[in-house]
Structure 1
Amino acid sequence: MPEGHSVHRIARQFDRNYVGHAVTASSPQGRFAEGAALIDGREVERVRAVGKQMFLAFEGDLWLRVHLGMYGAWDFAGEIVFDPTIASANGRMGQTNQRGTELHEASPVFDLAGENSLASIGAPRRTRGRVRMSEQTRGLDDPGDGADNEWPPPVVGQVRLRLMTEATCADLRGPTACELQNPDEVQATIAKLGPDPLVDDPAEGEERFVSVVRRKPTPIGLLLMDQNVVSGIGNVYRAELLYRALLDPHTPGKVVPEEIVRGIWRDWSRLLVIGVETGQMMTMDDLDPEAYRRAMASRDDRHWVYHRAGLPCRVCGTEIVLEEMGARKLYWCPTCQK
């Protein structure tokens, strides 16, 4: 499932490439035909991301709400102006290459597995389109039939919504929610969500988070996945945040020491920024340059416990446990996380 950092990256792409432009909207799949007709020809005025949901405002006080859910993704094609605020401090654009390409500051590298790539943000997916980043243009997936040169790009698969400007195309596939809302409905939706470190005042968000967690008998491993408690945390960040806090996932929220709850919020705030900047859920600290390159190129080298069931803990050597919690896979170390 796309987690909070992906949705913020998507919102920044829309802000950079769509805000201030009128769009041509359609629903090739047909499931959003009526909604697409209502926003067709309207100018995009602003975009908001809160947790795992994105809100795109169109002229006339009409908002598009999208929740990607488990399988949703936005595929971008055309001449895309990359958002420099996503680039990390050393100039990298947050794309990596699973085949081990060296990371050069002057040349963005692409993750061919599709994890949070510029071309397809959300569920892993490859694209047939071309993406322009700064002054560089390269094909992400050339099928050899010339399709990547077509404009508009051909519709591939089940596209719920296509939004096009003169030079950019965004296709939405597989979302859990895709609906139009008025301003009051948008505010009501956001009011139900827990705090997001990139949206809410950090201090106020921390107090909200601590207050809710500290009065709940629910296991902390479930609370971190509850979007009404805190926005944006998914399965990967849950496992990693709990490990970094050395906290047993089954501990009831109300008995977790307050300083640890505050530490989780502050750690989430930090990891979320790293995820937006790099495009990867990097959760290991203090890596040397070579280890960092490996971690950015392969998810197996960037996490403490996630997806490491049966492997030895990186710290104590205990076998990492895999269990189900909240209908999702939970990875944790029973020795470190006592």
Structure 2
Amino acid sequence: MPEGHSVRRLAQQFGDVFTGESLSVSSPQGRFVAGAALLDGKVLTESHAHGKHLFLHFDHAVVLHVHLGLYGAWDFGGDATFTGASSIGAPRKIGEREVFDDREIVDETETVEYAGPPEPRGAVRVRLVSRHGWADLRGATTCAAITEAETRAVQARLGPDPLHNHPADRTRFVTGLLSRKTPIAALLMDQKVIAGVGNVYRAEVLFRQRMDPWLPGTGLSGSAAGLLWDDTASVMADGVRDGRIITTPAGFWEPGAVLPSGGDAHFVYKREGQPCRVCAVPVAITEMVGRKLYWCPGCQQ
């Protein structure tokens, strides 16, 4: 499931390429026809993310609310003015490609210029089209046209977002964590406690803070809970910048690398059975709240 940094990047991309544009909105798949009709021809005024939820605001006070879930993804394309990632979300084989070539290369000397969006491929739930580009949504858990009041209600049910990183959010997170007897590895996956953290960030920040995943929230000190928030906010902000989750410092990468290879980007995530990068104890794997949890029995005691 895309984590909070990917959804923030989605919000930024929609803001960059669609804000202020009147959009043609349709549902090629047919499952969002009524919602598309409410949005068709309206102007996108704002896009923002809260945790794993994306909100696209239109000029008639209707909001497109999207949660990608496990299988959702946005694909993008357009003319030479349309820049950014070509796909964000699942499947991972597409990934987030930071340079999008908007022209089809025919040979080394000839290109075909952008001539509008392609025919929809697969189950496109909603398609947004501007003068210069398009965006297709597939496989989302949530795709709904809602009011501004309903948007506020969705956000009110969520915990603080580390990418907003307001002082009041930090205080709210610390207070919520210290009042719960649930293991911290489960609390970090609870979107009502902290919004946007998924399985990768959970494993990595707990390792970076050398925290026992089974320690109850009540077992933390206020300062330790605050540092957990600070580190989460920091690595998620790095994820927004880099377009991927990187939690290891450059000293763990190949010499001279600007960014790490996939295997060097994490301390424990998907490294079960391999020696810990710090203490050499094999990384362990178990299950918590229905997801695989990776941790180091040597460092996280």
* TM-score when normalising by structure 1: 0.81
> Quick one: distance in 2 between partners of 1:305 and 1:125?
19
Contact 2:103 2:114 in 1 (8 A): no
* Equivalent residue, structure 2, for 1:325: 288
* Equivalent residue, structure 2, for 1:103: none
- Would the alpha carbon gap of residues 42 and 166 (structure 1) be closer, same or farther in structure 2, given more than 3 Å must change? same
> Quick one: distance in 1 between partners of 2:175 and 2:184?
13
* One-letter amino acid of the structure 2 residue matched with residue 269 of structure 1: A
Contact 1:131 1:139 in 2 (8 A): no
* One-letter amino acid of the structure 2 residue matched with residue 14 of structure 1: F
Q: CA deviation at 1:335?
A: 1.0
Contact 1:28 1:161 in 2 (8 A): yes
Secondary structure of the equivalent of 1:322? strand
Q: CA deviation at 1:197?
A: 2.6
1:293 is aligned to 2:257: yes
- Would the alpha carbon gap of residues 262 and 205 (structure 1) be closer, same or farther in structure 2, given more than 3 Å must change? same
* Equivalent residue, structure 1, for 2:273: 310
> Quick one: distance in 2 between partners of 1:139 and 1:215?
56
- Pairing 1:97-136 to 2, within 5 Å after superposition: 118-124=85-91
Secondary structure of the equivalent of 2:174? helix
Contact 1:294 1:301 in 2 (8 A): no
* Equivalent residue, structure 1, for 2:230: 266
* Equivalent residue, structure 1, for 2:131: 166
> Quick one: distance in 2 between partners of 1:183 and 1:68?
20
What CA deviation, in whole Å up to 9, does each residue of 1:273-313 have, x standing for no partner? 110011010101243884573754x3211000001011111
* One-letter amino acid of the structure 2 residue matched with residue 56 of structure 1: L
* Equivalent residue, structure 1, for 2:243: 279
* One-letter amino acid of the structure 1 residue matched with residue 288 of structure 2: M
Q: CA deviation at 1:237?
A: 0.3
* Equivalent residue, structure 1, for 2:7: 7
Q: CA deviation at 1:317?
A: 1.0
Q: Which runs of 5+ in 1 are unaligned?
A: 84-117
Q: How many matched pairs?
A: 294
* One-letter amino acid of the structure 1 residue matched with residue 300 of structure 2: Q
* One-letter amino acid of the structure 1 residue matched with residue 290 of structure 2: A
* One-letter amino acid of the structure 1 residue matched with residue 270 of structure 2: H
Q: CA deviation at 1:178?
A: 0.6
1:210 is aligned to 2:177: no
1:157 is aligned to 2:122: yes
1:184 is aligned to 2:168: no
Q: CA deviation at 1:242?
A: 0.4
* Equivalent residue, structure 1, for 2:210: 246
- Pairing 1:13-92 to 2, within 5 Å after superposition: 13-79=13-79, 81-82=82-83
Q: CA deviation at 1:157?
A: 1.2
Q: CA deviation at 1:208?
A: 0.3
- Would the alpha carbon gap of residues 292 and 25 (structure 1) be closer, same or farther in structure 2, given more than 3 Å must change? farther
Higher relative CO (CA 8 A, sep ≥ 6), structure 1 or 2? Answer: 1
* One-letter amino acid of the structure 1 residue matched with residue 8 of structure 2: H
1:233 is aligned to 2:200: no
What CA deviation, in whole Å up to 9, does each residue of 1:4-33 have, x standing for no partner? 000000000100111100111111111111
Contact 2:199 2:292 in 1 (8 A): yes
Q: CA deviation at 1:138?
A: 6.0
Secondary structure of the equivalent of 1:284? coil
> Quick one: distance in 2 between partners of 1:73 and 1:120?
7
* One-letter amino acid of the structure 2 residue matched with residue 328 of structure 1: R
- Would the alpha carbon gap of residues 14 and 295 (structure 1) be closer, same or farther in structure 2, given more than 3 Å must change? same
Contact 2:102 2:114 in 1 (8 A): no
Q: CA deviation at 1:147?
A: 10
* One-letter amino acid of the structure 2 residue matched with residue 271 of structure 1: V
Q: CA deviation at 1:186?
A: 0.6
- Would the alpha carbon gap of residues 62 and 12 (structure 1) be closer, same or farther in structure 2, given more than 3 Å must change? same
Secondary structure of the equivalent of 2:124? coil
* One-letter amino acid of the structure 1 residue matched with residue 3 of structure 2: E
Counting aligned pairs with the same residue, the percent is: 45
What CA deviation, in whole Å up to 9, does each residue of 1:87-127 have, x standing for no partner? xxxxxxxxxxxxxxxxxxxxxxxxxxxxxxx1110113567
